[in-house]
Chain A
Amino acid sequence: DSGVTQTPKHLITATGQRVTLRCSPRSGDLSVYWYQQSLDQGLQFLIQYYNGEERAKGNILERFSAQQFPDLHSELNLSSLELGDSALYFCASSVEQGGYGYTFGSGTRLTVV
């Protein structure tokens, strides 16, 4: 157990639907990062939050959004889902902005049918 908790572990949904992925960072970590890993793209950085504020954006689609709450947990919202959004979504946390070493969760496997 890495200390980063992601729920749900698996999610199957239909095209056009909206889902929310949840991440609880490791205790004491203020930064949360979201990554997407699909078969043909590898690990892609989506977005980072630090202590409730958005800090950096990567290759995140406009249909996707995220937020970090006062208790530091984060949610990634994916809407108008397409077949190509099927992927593993990982959350990572670190102490500082970037810090020395991320701790990743075990991921949420999203399947869009």
Chain B
Amino acid sequence: KAGVTQTPRYLIKTRGQQVTLSCSPISGHRSVSWYQQTPGQGLQFLFEYFSETQRNKGNFPGRFSGRQFSNSRSEMNVSTLELGDSALYLCASSQTTGPSGEQYFGPGTRLTVT
């Protein structure tokens, strides 16, 4: 099976712009989660989607949003970019619906905001 894919892998944007990141989960996986990884804050949970519904949400401002499509592919959007949004954004998919399932991570999208 193909792994989790994320596009684009690298992105450079300027402050004030918006950005959309895409994630394709492993085939058959219906849960998709997003994380922000920075050297200072580590891994921070953004949100989780299951069957097109947001099931969990982290403590991020409303500028961060996401959605999931009927084929389980997911996108996250960040509007009005700030310098502090520079980070590695990781997407992860899971086969199980409960909390015992492990997650499979994509390689991430490296976002740089200038």
Chain A bound to chain B: no
Q: Which residues of A contact B (CB under 8 A)?
A: none
